[in-house]
Amino acid sequence: MMDWFDDILDAVLGFVIPRKWWHWPISVGIWGMVISIMGVLMEIVAHGHVPQTMGQHLSVTVTMSSPFVVFALLLLVRLNRQRHEATLMAAKDPLTGLLNRRAFLDHLSIQAPGVLFLIDLDHFKSVNDNYGHPAGDQLLCAMADVMLGLVRSTDLVGRLGGEEFAVFVPGLSMVDAQALGERLAQGVQNDDTFPQQPVTVTASVGAIKTGRSYDVTTLLKIADRALYQAKEAGRARLVWRSYRPELAMNKAGTPA
């Protein structure tokens, strides 16, 4: 219900709010005339006639209403900007700035065919235990920077929770996807987050290539199995699974 309301609100605001500098005089003139016409109708209802000629009435009303129209439009622009900023904040993980779980899955459900990577930092608990949670948070941000540096601006990068991340890259060849997955498995290399010494934290990666249509819930379950296999096989590695789980995988961990 709220999504339907938000769509209507976006359409209305997109029509009302001026987008370019030259839209402003046009908007002020149009809304001034709307107010003037409403005033004429009210006078007709109240008195049965208009005391001035229509031209005089429009000229006076538009002139007098212009400051109020400008103020109202400025207020709408400000409120619309704040609304969009709040929407963006609600879609982002507050620590890393990546898409949060809900926003990532929402975007994933409308994507073209591509490759999904689930990434989990190896032995992350020991980082928190040895260096403290603030250092762990810095490491998560460092991993976010690594992922953003490896993908295109149009690709999806999200934090699903804790030390688990996800990357979705549409239209990527299997050769490039393999290379990307292997780099993601390297995690954070020689990061200077910790003052005592540079630290390297690897990642386990589960990958799956989608078809023309796919179910997000099933996709995540299969990718999660691949991630679990990567951890069971010793971590710091990439494991592929097919979207059709009945297809066999070869021993190298690449699609059969």
Which residues carry out catalysis?
163
State the Cα–Cα distance between residues 251 and 239, nearest whole angstrom.
10
Structure tokens at 6: 């938000």
CA angle 56–60–63, rounded 5-degree value: 140
Mark residue 171 as left, alpha or beta (left: phi above 0; alpha: psi -120 to 50; beta: remaining). left
The gap between the terminal CA atoms of the chain, to the nearest Å, is: 44
What is the side-by-side strand order in the sheet with 164-170? 156-161, 164-170, 114-121, 203-209, 238-242
- Closest Cα to residue 189, out of 249, 120, 236, 128? 236
Residue by residue, DSSP assigns 91-127 as: TB-TTT-SB-HHHHHHHHTTPPSEEEEEEEETTHHHH
State the Cα–Cα distance between residues 122 and 2, nearest whole angstrom.
40
Residue by residue, DSSP assigns 167-199 as: EEEET--HHHHHHHHHHHHT-EEEETTSSSS-E
